[in-house]
Structure 1
């Protein structure tokens, strides 16, 4: 599989695209005025403890208090780790929040989820600092290997190397997926780097004031190299010379074997246009996703969950209905996995596949979905098809979706996705007129409304207007306003 990482840099915005076999798979956006906070470490102060929620709100200088649950608060283990689980942490019941924190207490926390919608950031005191191949767990003694490395022989080899290198340090480490196939020297370099970084962090913790950032994660281009650069990535193309120099220096320090794959793109044509990325971004903001067979998906993101509806559309098939449905669902499973990753959709996801009768077809569709999700960097969990033909799944959400990053609710419909009909607004205006004349004295009433609504009233509801004038004993005038939305109107007393 051919994979490339494209980095597009402008003064106020940086974008990273992951392209596999010529198709956009992932899109990351970072703006200078609105950088994400995930991974950052802050010194905060507890502003409110809520025993009923087993949680606390912590002020960390983000404008909105962040959320810290009792289960995310570090407690010293009562014994050494056993089989990778520390006694006294997740193995024991969580004490009441008011035994762990009190209002006004200073606490060092790390952001694990950005503020999303009306919710503040999610915090933890279990600090974790990533490097190229490892994640440092300074308050833990666990030495583990990422579950994404499935080969048992490789897991055992990496675990053995990690224990030999880090067992005496008294600090925990997790081997990342990128470490697969790496040497002991590579892990040793990361341990040395993380050790020095942790010493500097501890000094910062002592000096930093409440509400200030102690440690900030890397900027997007370097973060993309650290998290997305794998052996099967053929090229990293950067269209900014300054950013290219930074990525080269970073790669020389942490991934020297991959330096030659990073190149500067000097072309006049924008790099995203060259790969068709801009068009893909525009398509990713639409609800409908066409399938090659003629079917299509409808993706609807709401506050509670994301729903994916599968339709056969123009696909008629060649054999019978069951075969048509099966092929459409197989293609939909692949497309859905790509869209979730591309649009960065997280939380609860419900996929409404077309009803299938054959149990083997159901298993194959589910298997295709799971297989297509394997390359997703976010953690996903897929459940069996329900009796209603729905597939429930979850995808870990740490940042806003692509749509929420690039778009805002429509000011006309306020994000509802629909407008009141001109007929509905007409009858609202009639009711408002009746209400106004009962409260105030006036000889004439002037109604300001959108051109479409005024046209409907004068052309189709003229009889109703005459009857209303006779009923209230007043003259009613209508004035179209081009700047008014369809639902907007004013009744003025003259």
Structure 2
């Protein structure tokens, strides 16, 4: 199976598609005017602390203030100082509790008569309760204060009026390693499957982590890397972190401290590692930039990068354009004839599975299981392709047998293994629903390529012509009957409406206009205006 990375570079837009075998599995589209900020590191300024939400708004220079939750702020200097103070207080409280308990036990023992048999004095007189000596959880007020200048990293782009999501728990990706300044130890990518290789890499990186503060995550790209390469990567990342700390110490928030790679180079760093045999770039300047980057940081990729100079469009030849168009549709067909409906809303993504025209050849349970198993594979693919994140609820077709439900759950979990995004899949509920979360970083494909419908206001539905016609008549009635001090009531009204609405208003069988005219003793004229949306209309009074 040949994996390809396609890079379509235009003047103000970069499109990247990853193809595994003959299937497009990942599409990233980024425009110069809306560059992703994920991974960027800023010196931000706390503009407002929100104790009720355990969060703070932080200005980082992205226009709208970004959002920092307390859980993502506990490595900041103010938070670390608070944690040390609370730990001391908890230790002092524990010591005081122990002393009080010992004193109470001694008092009980002394109060006993010499001939009394009391193996457990607590049974005679209870010792005072021991207070909870554990340090309380840090609040947002322990972590930041208004006006603080703090180093933060963007983990999620701004979406639909919501500011970007931040963390103070910085991570710096390199060629082979990810440096985590506030988290010690060594982790190895789960995509490296060989236990021997995992152990080898761990043994090499462990001393590098112990040589200073922080820790490292070994990336998939490190498979087969030499100790010298890993040491060089670790040294580079530690030096970069030291430079960032020095820059942040100079103040001047808000301002950027470190910007992540642009889409072209980021694709090489993050996506060209997964067994990609060929990297096709369709623009000469981008091709040269890719080569220069590969020679310096990823020399093993250099001979895989090729310029696409054929007259046919790169995305057309590999059917990526068709895949993108299909990914914007809610319905996805299954091989057997069933289908899946994907409904992305602001709160969650709901996915429904249907058998469609597939009736099967065995019993109903077998038919449903077959459809569900097909859907599990398709849904896993679509989540990645469409970059759907957040809360996702999947309504598979109900099955009676517990073993079939487990088989479906296991199949779906297996299908999600290839997803680079962090996912959590809960067991199927009693109602047959699978609830899951998928980490959301950048916008979904639909959010990048589409906008709210002007006709329906983003609801996905529009009012029927009949509904609008009745709204027009109610508005006309109110207008003609309203009091007009010093003036006589209007004698005529012109209604401007969309053609399908105007047709209903003038339909003799319905008698809408006639009813209002009789009630108001006015003349109504209806005109069709093709320029008006269905739910738009205008009323013009004439004396």
Q: Which has the larger radius of gyration?
A: 2
In 2: Cα distance, 1:460 partner to 1:394 partner = 55
Map residues 339-354 of structure 1 onto 2, 5 A cutoff: 339-354=382-397
Map residues 424-443 of structure 1 onto 2, 5 A cutoff: 424-439=467-482, 440=484, 441-443=489-491
Structure 1 residue 117, shift from structure 2 partner: 1.4
Structure 1 residue 142, shift from structure 2 partner: 3.2
In 1: Cα distance, 2:382 partner to 2:285 partner = 32
Alpha-carbon deviations, 1:422-445, whole Å to 9, x = none?
111111111111111122431101
Alpha-carbon deviations, 1:60-98, whole Å to 9, x = none?
1111111111111114679xxxxxxxxxxxx97532222
CA contact (8 A) 1:444 1:474 kept: yes
Structure 1 residue 200, shift from structure 2 partner: 3.4
Q: 1:479 to 1:293 in 2, by over 3 A?
A: same
Instruction: Name the residue aligned to 2:57.
Output: 57
Q: 1:231 to 1:396 in 2, by over 3 A?
A: closer
Q: Which moved more, 1:336-345 or 1:387-396?
A: 387-396
> Could you tell me which of 120, 138, 148 is aligned with 1:95?
138
2:220 is aligned with 1:172: no
In 2: Cα distance, 1:335 partner to 1:428 partner = 43
User: What is the SS of the residue equivalent to 1:483?
Assistant: coil
User: What is the SS of the residue equivalent to 1:334?
Assistant: helix
Structure 1 residue 337, shift from structure 2 partner: 0.3
CA contact (8 A) 2:182 2:213 kept: no
Structure 1 residue 169, shift from structure 2 partner: 2.7
In 1: Cα distance, 2:248 partner to 2:423 partner = 34
In 2: Cα distance, 1:166 partner to 1:184 partner = 13
Map residues 114-263 of structure 1 onto 2, 5 A cutoff: 114-149=157-192, 151-207=194-250, 209-230=252-273, 232-263=275-306
User: What is the SS of the residue equivalent to 2:534?
Assistant: coil
2:509 is aligned with 1:464: no
CA contact (8 A) 1:132 1:227 kept: no
In 2: Cα distance, 1:221 partner to 1:257 partner = 17
Instruction: Name the residue aligned to 1:444.
Output: 492
Counting matched residue pairs gives: 482
Alpha-carbon deviations, 1:179-207, whole Å to 9, x = none?
23433222123113223323433343345
In 1: Cα distance, 2:349 partner to 2:194 partner = 33
In 1: Cα distance, 2:508 partner to 2:280 partner = 61
Q: Which moved more, 1:181-190 or 1:284-293?
A: 181-190
2:531 is aligned with 1:493: no
Structure 1 gaps, min length 5: 79-90
Structure 2 gaps, min length 5: 82-133
Q: Which moved more, 1:107-116 or 1:226-235?
A: 226-235
Alpha-carbon deviations, 1:363-390, whole Å to 9, x = none?
2221221111111110111111111111
Q: 1:341 to 1:93 in 2, by over 3 A?
A: farther
In 1: Cα distance, 2:411 partner to 2:371 partner = 12
In 1: Cα distance, 2:515 partner to 2:238 partner = 84
In 2: Cα distance, 1:276 partner to 1:308 partner = 25
Instruction: Name the residue aligned to 1:70.
Output: 70
In 2: Cα distance, 1:426 partner to 1:361 partner = 51
Structure 1 residue 465, shift from structure 2 partner: 1.8
In 2: Cα distance, 1:308 partner to 1:247 partner = 38
User: What is the SS of the residue equivalent to 1:174?
Assistant: strand
> Could you tell me which of 107, 116, 127 is aligned with 2:150?
107
> Could you tell me which of 257, 269, 279 is aligned with 2:312?
269
CA contact (8 A) 1:70 1:94 kept: no
Map residues 17-28 of structure 1 onto 2, 5 A cutoff: 17-28=17-28
User: What is the SS of the residue equivalent to 2:342?
Assistant: strand
In 1: Cα distance, 2:30 partner to 2:164 partner = 17
In 2: Cα distance, 1:377 partner to 1:62 partner = 27
User: What is the SS of the residue equivalent to 1:385?
Assistant: coil
Q: 1:50 to 1:261 in 2, by over 3 A?
A: same
CA contact (8 A) 2:505 2:511 kept: no
In 1: Cα distance, 2:38 partner to 2:231 partner = 26
User: What is the SS of the residue equivalent to 1:286?
Assistant: coil
Instruction: Name the residue aligned to 2:324.
Output: 281
Instruction: Name the residue aligned to 1:478.
Output: 526
Output the aligned Cα RMSD.
Answer: 1.8
In 2: Cα distance, 1:159 partner to 1:463 partner = 82
User: What is the SS of the residue equivalent to 2:425?
Assistant: strand
Map residues 295-310 of structure 1 onto 2, 5 A cutoff: 295-310=338-353
